[in-house]
Amino acid sequence: MGVDVIRFDALAFLWGKIGTDSQNLPEAHQLIPLFSMCLHVIAPGVILLAEAIVAPRNIIKYFGEVPLKGNECEVAYNASLTALLWNSIATKKTSLLHKSLEEIPPKPVDGIWVNYIRCHDDIVLGYDDDFIRAIGWSPSEHRSFLLDYYSRGLEWSPAKGLMFMYNPKNGDGRITGSAASLLGLEKALEQKDTTKINHAVSKILILHGIILSYGGIPLIYAGDEIGTLNDYSFTKDDDHKNDSRWINRPMQDWKTIENHRSQIFKGLKKMIQLRKKLSVFADTRTALIHPSPNEHIFLLNVTIEKLKFGSNQI
């Protein structure tokens, strides 16, 4: 039928067992290779995309571990990178980003990440508690801070988002909102503050710059390319009003998108052109993370040994 990729939804919850949280159970990792083998028989050109929005050290397992290394999914959403990028925006620090990416085992050579900053759902605060403690923070207090920053209307926060699936018993919650609104563009436009508008645009571009240069397959969510803001109309729809994720699922105005020439649109278009032009950004490359003496800077290794610029080879 022309399908290239099948999205394996919520596969971390594929197997349920009474007395457990029914998440990441060994039985799931026995079933997934069976699905994969059946798929290879029926449609050998089709691959599986793992949608496992869980803790960093668990996501990597859905590529397949010994003795099933590489026998589960060929592609996986890099939910860890997504959560870590939003953490760095809120804290203005890269310490948890560095710690987590350095400690997570490398993916198999044949596995590929899908890197994104937003999707149609919510942002899960899927951090490893041990990594949070290692940098001197309290996991529960830190998650509470992130919910405050993005979705509880802090006066000093530039973000405008909502919470999804909040659990008052343990304080866990998720974040919803368009990328532009979560990064301050909506509030800046309301305040008619040019400096804040430019700052928000810069944050939108820098996050997309990371997913375009990290290696793997970049995914840009529809509307983010023109800085689409939150859509609050869902609150008037009886079918959607109890699901805050609809705030970042607006109807697309394709005429507006087709004729758009904003700074965000131009910036993304330029970065995409550079990615296509420079082989160093090929989707098979694995990013190398380096510790930074400045906790506000993210250092990402880019090897350009075979690229030629004019008469010079770098």
Q: Is residue 73 in a domain? A: no
162 is written with which tokens? 């909502």
Give the model's pLDDT for residue 194: 95
Q: State yes or no: cis peptide before 33, omega within 30 of 0.
A: no
Q: Is residue 22 in a domain? A: no
Q: Is residue 55 in a domain? A: no
Q: Is residue 43 in a domain? A: no
**pLDDT tens, residue by residue, 218-229:** 999 989 999 999
Q: Confidence band (pLDDT; 50, 70, 90) for 284?
A: low
Q: Is residue 255 in a domain? A: yes
Q: What is the CATH number of the domain that holds 252?
A: 3.20.20.80
**pLDDT tens, residue by residue, 182-217:** 999 999 999 999 999 999 999 999 999 999 988 889
Q: Is residue 240 in a domain? A: yes
Q: Which residues pair with 309 in a beta bridge?
A: 312
Q: Which residues pair with 114 in a beta bridge?
A: 77, 217
**pLDDT tens, residue by residue, 114-131:** 999 999 999 999 899 999
Query: Across 136-259, where does the E strand assignment appear?
Result: 162-167, 172-176, 217-219
Q: Is residue 54 in a domain? A: no
Cα separation, 68 vs 88, in Å, equals 34
CB pairs under 8 A, 24+ apart, for 156-165?
A: 158/183, 158/184, 158/187, 158/188, 158/196, 158/199, 158/200, 159/90, 159/183, 159/184, 159/187, 160/186, 160/187, 160/230, 161/230, 161/247, 162/244, 162/247, 163/244, 164/122, 164/243, 164/244, 164/245, 165/122
Give the sign of the dihedral formed by CA 76, CA 77, CA 80, CA 85.
Answer: positive
Residue scoring higher pLDDT (289 or 68): 289
In terms of Cα–Cα distance, which of 70, 72, 76, 80 is closest to 112?
76
Residue scoring higher pLDDT (211 or 253): 211
**pLDDT tens, residue by residue, 89-117:** 999 999 999 999 888 887 887 888 999 99
Give the model's pLDDT for residue 192: 96
Catalytic residues: 9, 51
Q: Is residue 197 a contact partner of residue 189, using CB atoms and an 8 Å limit?
A: yes
Give the model's pLDDT for residue 303: 53
Q: Is residue 199 in a domain? A: yes
Domains of the chain: total: 1
Give the model's pLDDT for residue 269: 94
Residue 79 pLDDT > 70, yes or no? yes
Domain carrying residue 171: 78-313
Residues belonging to the chain:
314
215 is written with which tokens? 């290696």
Give the sign of the dihedral formed by CA 306, CA 310, CA 312, CA 314.
Answer: negative
